[in-house]
Amino acid sequence: MFTKDLVYIFTILEAIEKIFIYSLKFEKADEFYWENDQINFNATVNLLIAIGEEVKKIDNSLKFHYQNIHWKEIGGLRDKITHNYRGIDPTIIWSVIKDELPTLKIALISMLKKIDIENSLIKELINNPYYKHITYLVKNDEKSIN
């Protein structure tokens, strides 16, 4: 059950880790927004779009167990970014990074424990270079969720 959700969750977790990397050295929204000709900010916004799209695909009965997560708002942020690019408020994006993504990450890792996953599928996904920032999901010698 929920095996299809594994790829969505892995993709979201990878996006979260990349956002954390892109925003790590900054203390304020304005610094993050203007630094590096906005490359870090723009990459983050693109990843937030991906997160919002993938969240919409996760089975609702799985999301039901995590009502502290604002699932509709995550998808809604994706829609707002996509349709109003010039109107993106860097302080909102910064707040999402600092206040919302850590909670989402914890919920997604917890979700993985509810999914019946074949070890071969986990190994295949984790060995994919796309998911190189979420190898913490597996134990050192095993390919199973911690």
Catalytic residue selected from 65, 70, 78, 133: 78
Single-letter amino acid, residue 118: E
> 11 vs 30, 32, 33, 128, CA distance in Å?
27, 23, 24, 11
Per 3-state DSSP, the chain is made up of helix, strand and coil in percentages (nearest 5) of 75, 0, 25
- CA dist 120 and 68 (Å) reads 31
Whether 83 sits among the annotated catalytic residues: the reply is: yes
Catalytic residue selected from 70, 83, 86, 133: 83
- CA dist 55 and 135 (Å) reads 21
**What is the set of active-site residues?**
78, 83
